[in-house]
Amino acid sequence: MKICFASSSGGHLEQLFMLSPIMDNYDCFIVTEKTKYDLNISNRKIFYIEHVNRKEILFLLKSFLNSFYSLGIFIKEKPDIIISTGALAMIPICIICKLFGKKLIYIESYAKISSPNITGRILYKFADRFYVQWESMLEYYPKAKFLGGIY
């Protein structure tokens, strides 16, 4: 079984790395945004896509490009499962995996305590498993599972 771990940079990626014990036990790779921050991780296969900010003028173009990058990554790596902590730039890889019949596990951000984020609202409809890290978020995602924080 091959697992794709996907998240944007920053806190989303930090949350994703809390799942390192899972990464250690499976054939896996990471998809994240290319930023000035260097991950400096030698024991993991990492693919980079464009950083996306919905307030940027190039938002739609970058999202379109990320769809093509994500399709290429999917075809090359052929994951069975994708686990994502968001955010926006990860929507294409998540939806592509679902279109090809793969499993999607989405973990809503630890920072979301009282309102859902855009990525969560979109991927909630596609996820095979959807986890929230705060019980209060079950109000917005009634079919989600609450298991506490991943920290």
Is the pLDDT higher at 57 or at 4?
4
131-148 CB burial, b ≥16 within 10 A, e <16: bbbbeebeebbeebeeee
Residue owning tokens 């499993």 = 103
Residue 93's Cβ-count burial label (10 Å; 0-12, 13-18, 19+) is buried
Q: What is the pLDDT of residues 80-92, one digit of tens each?
A: 999 999 999 999 9
Q: What is the pLDDT of residues 13-53, one digit of tens each?
A: 999 999 999 999 999 999 999 887 766 676 889 999 999 88
pLDDT score of 106 more than 70: yes
The answer as to CATH 3.40.50.9100 being correct for domain 2-146 is no
Residue 141 tokens, joined:
């995602």
Locate the domains of the chain by residue range: 2-146
Residue 45 tokens, joined:
């296969």
Mean pLDDT computed over every residue of the chain: 93
Cis peptide upstream of residue 87 (ω within 30 degrees of 0) = yes
Taking the C-alpha atoms of residue 137 and residue 58, their distance in angstroms, rounded to an integer, is 31
- Residue 42, pLDDT score: 67
Q: Residues 6 or more apart from 148 whose CB is under 8 A from it? A: 133
Q: What is the pLDDT of residues 60-103, one digit of tens each?
A: 999 999 999 999 999 999 999 999 999 999 999 999 999 999 99
Q: Residues 6 or more apart from 135 whose CB is under 8 A from it? A: 146
Given pLDDT bands bounded at 50, 70 and 90, which one contains residue 133? very high
